[in-house]
Chain A
Amino acid sequence: MNSKKNINFLFVGVGGQGILTGSDIAAGVGLEAGYDAKKSEVHGFSQRGGVVESHVRWGDDVAAPLAEKGSVDFLIATELLEAARWIEWLRPGGAVLVNHQRIPPMSVTVGDAVYPADERILAAVETRTDDVTVIEGFATAERLGNPRLANTVLLGALSTRLDVPPETWLAVIERRVPPKYVELNCKAFWEGRRE
């Protein structure tokens, strides 16, 4: 039997950062590459500028649609603070791919809380793993002319860690994003592979 190891992904960020699209693409790539795949997320109230998380699991026969705390292989964070918030979900030694972008929550804006410095956030993340990559996804996306592309840059970086050819990723991206954004997303994906 062609047995495939389970791989758990957790995409986290802030409402509006493209978490749901990014995780949709990752799940689609898994299925395309011959895995069973599931993804799970929550819509509605929490999406209004709140925390967004989306689970993706690849495997032979995926049962639960969401992984368990401590069992995530790849934590993909489109925002720095969110990487720290979700770090306990990573398995020890798992990989963190984090977009270098700070989006202060309302609790910080109104002065009830302080947004920690980058170094402190990374130190918190590194208590769980040495495999942390900070990606200039936002800067790259801005350079490409659309800050919303940061999630696709992260997908490009993620793709280098997995045994699936980039063409499969590009094919799924093409199907998933609106036609007029396909070219830009493909560019962002290749930029991410260089990170």
Chain B
Amino acid sequence: MEEMKDLVLNYVINEYQEDEDEEITYDTPLISSGYVDSFSMVSLKVFLEKKFQIKIPDDKATPEAFDTVNKIVELVNEYTNK
């Protein structure tokens, strides 16, 4: 679980963080704070699906479900366990 969180966190930091001075943690709001906008969410969804070999239904890929690393991992676990 920790490994999955770190994987997702590192991806978010590498791909979406613009200001090096700001710290992104497992609980940092990503969508609601503007780090990842709604258009960029698609690339994050593609990353999760490819990395974890899952399919996330479009209606589950909501800004709320993607808003923090912790919530993302929760969602991923829901589909890796299926």
Chain B binds chain A: no
Residues of A within 8 A of B (CB): none
Interface residues of B, Cβ cutoff 8 Å to A: none
